[in-house]
C-alpha cells in the first residue's frame, strides 16, 4: 500500500508539523499555538496554525490524547473529528473540559492526535423493505448483557 504524503502549510510561526513519537505509532500529535484556559464544561476550538493538503481517497481523523483524558478530563468533543481531503482551512481541535478544575493549554502543548485513514464511499439507495437479520431492530442494550 503506498504511503500517502500529507502536505502541511504553517499559518503561524508557532505551528509545529505533526510527527510520530515512536516507530509503529498510528497517531501523530497536534500542537496548540497559543494559550487558552478551559473552564469545567467549557469547549473551545483550539488553533494549530496548520492547514493541510490530504490526498483524495484519504481523511485525517482528529482524536483525543489519552493522557489528557485520563489526567484532566480533557477530550476532543467531536471525536473523531474529520478533516476532508478538500479542506484547506486551519485545522482546529474542539476540546472540552469534563474535569472539575480549569485546564491551561500552553503554546507547544500536544492537544490531540491525527490518524490518516482511507475513505470508503458508499452508494445510498431507498428500499421499501430490508432483509431480515438475527438482531432485527434491537438497539441500545439489546444484548441483555450488563457490564
Task: Give the tens place of pLDDT for each residue, 39-51.
Answer: 999 999 999 999 9
In 3D, which of 63, 97, 58 has the Cα closest to residue 80? Answer: 63
Interatomic CA distance for residues 125 and 133, integer angstroms: 19
What is the band of 144 on the pLDDT scale with cuts at 50, 70, 90? low
Predicted confidence (pLDDT) at residue 139 exceeds the cutoff of 90: no
Q: Does domain 7-118 have CATH number 1.10.3720.10?
A: no
Beta strand residue intervals within 12-129, DSSP E? 28-31, 36-38, 43-47, 50-53, 58-63, 74-76, 81-83, 92-97, 103-105, 110-118
Mean pLDDT of 75-81: 96
Tally of residues, the chain: 147
Predicted confidence (pLDDT) at residue 147 exceeds the cutoff of 60: no
Give the rounded percent of residues in the chain with a pLDDT score beyond 90.
88
Predicted confidence (pLDDT) at residue 98 exceeds the cutoff of 60: yes
Residue 142's pLDDT is 66
pLDDT in tens, 23-70: 999 999 999 999 999 999 999 999 999 999 999 999 999 999 999 999
Amino acid at each position: 500500500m503506498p504511503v500517502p504524503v500529507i502536505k502541511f502549510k504553517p499559518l503561524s510561526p508557532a505551528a509545529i508539523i505533526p510527527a510520530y513519537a515512536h516507530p509503529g505509532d498510528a497517531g501523530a500529535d497536534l500542537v496548540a499555538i497559543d494559550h487558552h484556559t478551559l473552564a469545567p464544561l467549557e469547549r473551545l476550538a483550539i488553533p494549530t496554525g496548520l492547514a493541510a493538503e490530504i490526498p483524495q481517497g484519504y481523511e485525517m481523523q482528529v482524536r483525543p490524547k489519552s493522557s489528557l483524558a485520563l489526567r484532566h478530563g480533557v477530550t476532543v468533543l467531536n471525536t473523531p473529528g474529520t478533516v476532508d481531503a478538500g479542506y484547506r482551512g486551519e485545522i482546529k481541535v474542539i476540546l472540552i473540559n469534563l474535569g472539575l478544575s480549569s485546564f491551561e493549554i500552553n503554546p507547544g502543548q500536544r492537544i490531540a492526535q491525527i490518524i490518516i485513514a482511507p475513505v470508503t464511499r458508499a452508494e445510498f439507495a431507498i428500499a421499501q423493505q430490508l432483509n431480515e437479520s438475527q438482531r432485527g431492530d434491537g438497539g441500545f442494550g439489546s444484548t441483555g448483557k450488563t457490564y
